[in-house]
A and B are shown apart, each in its own frame.
Chain A
């Protein structure tokens, strides 16, 4: 089998997604940690358009963008499928993956909110989005994929660990058991899945990083 390499960043949930998918499929890979303040020549060569991680390199050929990488992994290593086999169900799964990706601006607004009305509005809007995800995507299932996790779960997993740290740093909770009981339970369940549990960084380190990156971005915004 041609060599598989992953250029990632230890704290990035986009990086973690790819790791989980590779582990689920039993694919051996070499992990290369990128210093985002000093990106490698190789990374810039592999991802000239966005210059970001993660980048998967298979047999010397690079693929960028985590969701694109996940689809590639699914097609290249079809064992332990992570998408439904029925085209209509697959379309629904892709719809929800896309929906999650589309919420980045809202998530960012919440992440960078500093207080008052601005923060209340950001929290409310994000909560409404989570309500839609809970009602229409998850429903009464244990996971988005049913009894076991699939690409939809993998794409939303950020909510289960990264988001908790965001809530702690900001001091505002959105994903709560009384307002979002099923999604909250899903978050608990997914963190117990061995491949996820065993492949996320130490939470204290991630919490510290979340705090640091937020302060950095807020400072940059002030200086503009």
Chain B
């Protein structure tokens, strides 16, 4: 099998998306941690357009943008499928992955904002979480049904980031009584072995964000 390398960053949820997908598929890869304040020549060469992680390098060929990488991984290594077989179900899955890309990032902004702006970001985040719980997750255990899928992976950052936000805000954004299903999902998601063994250290995350 051709060599697989991942250029990533320890706190990035986009980096973890790729790690979880590779682990779930049992793909061996070399992980290279990038210092984003001093980007490697390899990163700049592999992603000249965005200069961002994650970048997957397969047999020397770079693939950029985590959602694109996930689709690539699914196509090259079809075992332990992360997308449904049915084209309609796949379209629904892709809709939610795009939602995670387009709307998900609002939660990362909570820590970086203050006062009125932070309040606005919190309100938008709660709206976003409500939409995901009602329309995306519904009564399923995972977004993928009984097993985790690319959608769960795409929302994976939501599983650990609320822990950071809780320390910063002094309250849990994903309160169990407000978001019972999503709250349960975070617990279920973090229990999946490939996820459990590949999460950023909360202590280290907190030090950075507080």
Contacts and interface: CB of A to CB of B under 8 A. Distances in A.
Interface stretch (A64-72, A189-197, A205-213): A64-72
Interface in B79-102: 87-88, 90-92, 94-95, 98-99
Dominant SS among interface residues on chain A:
helix
B1 to A, nearest CB: 14
Contact of B91 (A49, A72, A136): A72
A217 B205 CA distance: 41
A95 B76 contact: no
Interface residues of A, number: 24
Given A75-B87, A91-B63, A64 B95 contact: yes
B91 A68 contact: yes
Dominant SS among interface residues on chain B:
helix
Contacts of A88: 58, 61, 63, 72
A49 B90 contact: no
A87 B76 contact: yes
Contacts of B94: 68, 71
A105 B59 CA distance: 35
A171 interface: no
B62 to A, nearest CB: 10
Given A49-B99, A88-B63, A136-B48, A71 B68 contact: no
Instruction: Identify the interface centre among A67, A68, A90: most chain B CB within 10 Å of its CB.
Output: A68
A63 interface: yes
